[in-house]
Structure 1
Amino acid sequence: MNYDLVIFDNDGVLVDSEPVANTILAGYLTELGHPTSYEDSLRDYMGAAVHRVHDLVLERTGQRLPEEFDQTLNARTFAAFERELQAVDGVTEVLGKLTADGVPYCLASSGSHERIRVGHRKTGLDLWFHDEIIFSAQDVGRGKPAPDLFLYAAERMGVAPERCVVVEDSALGVAAAVAAGMDVYGFTAMTPAGKLAGAKGWFSSMAELPALLA
């Protein structure tokens, strides 16, 4: 293994949440008078913390989203997770191999701790991730594409940034990992490799990941 720590993004990498969450987000924004397609939502918000939604809507329209936006979005998203969410195919095999090989791993997500936990309980990934190895944009001042979250995760795990590798599926996440001075591999299940520029390599199936990390 070339690395001392593997840092996983959560949405789209561990749990197959991006289709569910972006469908909900696009629908809610449209309902509020900000017409947004599913494709628009993926382009503008995939991999981002919710503050980016507020910032972009304000920047584009001069209007603020309602005070209850986050609460309503979370309620709708979590309800959809309970109905539909699944773990990304093959990810438990990757986690099992890392565990067997004694390679530390953690999670660094733009999502809130609550969102992470809801998804993990539904998919069984709570067996693999405990609180001490879960890091959220809530824990730092700035979310991706700023490097803060990845640097915070590395510091908490006691590993130098250059000894970390990040597994990401969004352009914002890849940019954050590169800014943190970490190698990053891009998961192309939903995002073409061309949009994950800066990654050291790309893979379309979790079965390919162990060989890249080794």
Structure 2
Amino acid sequence: MRHELIIFDNDGVLVDSEPLSNRILAGYLTELGHPTSYEDSLRDYMGGAVHRVHDLILERTGRRLPEDFDDVFHERVFTAFRRELEPVAGVPEMLEKLAAEGVPYCVASSGSHERIRVGHWKTGLDRWFGEDTVFSAQDVGRGKPAPDLFLHAAERMGVTPERCVVVEDSPLGVQAALAAGMDVYGFTAMTPADRLDGANGYFDDMEQLLGLLA
């Protein structure tokens, strides 16, 4: 394997959370007087940290979201996660193989540490990720598409950016990986390849990932 570290996005790559969280986000924004469809939410916010929602709403409407927006949104998401969340198909088997082969990997997510923990606990992925291999946009000043989060993860894992490969399913994540000087593979199960422009390769089934990484 030519890469020394695999950096996974979390939402939509490891856990099947994008449909749940974007449905909830679209509903909550609409409830607050900012009409947003599920498709709008995927287009504008998928892969980004929650501050992106605040920034875009303020830019577009001149109105700020309520101070408790993050708390209410996260509680709704966590409730849905605890009830419905599943791992992305093929992920447990893929992680099992990587662990057995001793391949270094970590997760770098726009979500909060709590969101990552809740999702991994519900899906059973916590067995493959210790605290020292989980990185959140909370850890850096700027989330994706800035490269900060991926560079932070690489530094903490002791690997130079050019020896890392990122696995992403959002345009913002692909942009962040490229800005960090890393290779990136686009997961197209939810996002068409043409929206992940610049990726080094594409796949739509986790069984295909190990072949790309080899």
TM (norm. structure 2) is 0.99
**1:76 aligned onto 2:73:** no
Q: Distance in 1 between matches of 2:127 and 2:101?
A: 18
* 1:170 Cα deviation after fit: 0.1
Instruction: Name which of structure 1's ranges 95-104 and 135-144 shifts more when overlaid on structure 2.
Output: 95-104
**SS of alignment partner, residue 202 of structure 1:** strand
1:144 matched residue in structure 2: 144
1:164 matched residue in structure 2: 164
In structure 2, what residue type is equivalent to 1:173?
G
In structure 2, what residue type is equivalent to 1:197?
D
**Any gaps of 5 or more consecutive residues in structure 2?**
none
Give the percent of matched residue pairs that are identical in Structure 1 and Structure 2.
Answer: 76
The Cα offsets for residues 11-47 of structure 1, whole Å up to 9 and x where unpaired, read as 0000000000000000000000000000000000000
1:94 matched residue in structure 2: 94
Q: Distance in 2 between matches of 1:182 and 1:93?
A: 25
* 1:98 Cα deviation after fit: 1.1
* 1:96 Cα deviation after fit: 1.2
List structure 1 runs of 4+ shifted beyond 4 angstroms: none
The Cα offsets for residues 135-185 of structure 1, whole Å up to 9 and x where unpaired, read as 000000000000000000000000010000000000000000000000000
Q: Distance in 1 between matches of 2:37 and 2:87?
A: 25
Q: Distance in 1 between matches of 2:68 and 2:44?
A: 21
1:54 matched residue in structure 2: 54
2:22 matched residue in structure 1: 22
Q: Distance in 1 between matches of 2:36 and 2:140?
A: 28
The Cα offsets for residues 41-74 of structure 1, whole Å up to 9 and x where unpaired, read as 0000000000000000000000000000000000
2:5 matched residue in structure 1: 5
2:64 matched residue in structure 1: 64
2:191 matched residue in structure 1: 191
Kindly tell me the number of residue pairs found equivalent between the two proteins: 214
* 1:100 Cα deviation after fit: 1.5
1:108 matched residue in structure 2: 108
In structure 1, what residue type is equivalent to 2:212?
L
2:129 matched residue in structure 1: 129
1:213 matched residue in structure 2: 213
* 1:99 Cα deviation after fit: 1.1
The Cα offsets for residues 91-117 of structure 1, whole Å up to 9 and x where unpaired, read as 111111111111100000000000000
In structure 2, what residue type is equivalent to 1:68?
D
Q: Distance in 2 between matches of 1:204 and 1:22?
A: 20
Q: Distance in 2 between matches of 1:98 and 1:79?
A: 31
Q: Distance in 2 between matches of 1:93 and 1:80?
A: 24
* 1:2 Cα deviation after fit: 1.4
